[in-house]
Amino acid sequence: MISRWSAAARFAASIPMRRIGKPEEVARAALFLAFDATYTTGAELVVDGGGTRVRVPGRDGMP
């Protein structure tokens, strides 16, 4: 059986920033879009520590 902590550590290791984001970091991104991005329309702000970056075959453990 995999412990909750080892599963979380493996997930964090798979993220380029090597850690799981904090709720405060997501909240700051939401606040930025709500208040500071006054001239922004239709923008997507990905807050995932680089988890959705483009994976390159031959790098990142991909064949």
**Cα dihedral sign for 3, 50, 42, 40?**
positive
For residue 11, which phi and psi values (nearest 5 degrees)?
-65, -45
In angstroms, the CA 27 to CA 9 distance is: 23
- What pLDDT does 59 receive? 62
Q: Please list the pLDDT of the chain residue by residue as tens digits (63 residues).
A: 567 778 888 888 888 899 999 999 999 999 998 899 888 888 888 999 998 886 666 665 554
Prediction pTM value: 0.66
Residue range(s) defining the domain that contains residue 48: 1-63
User: What's the chain's length in residues?
Assistant: 63
The total number of structural domains in the chain stands at: 1
- What pLDDT does 26 receive? 95
User: Are residues 33 and 45 in contact, defined by beta-carbon separation less than 8 angstroms?
Assistant: yes
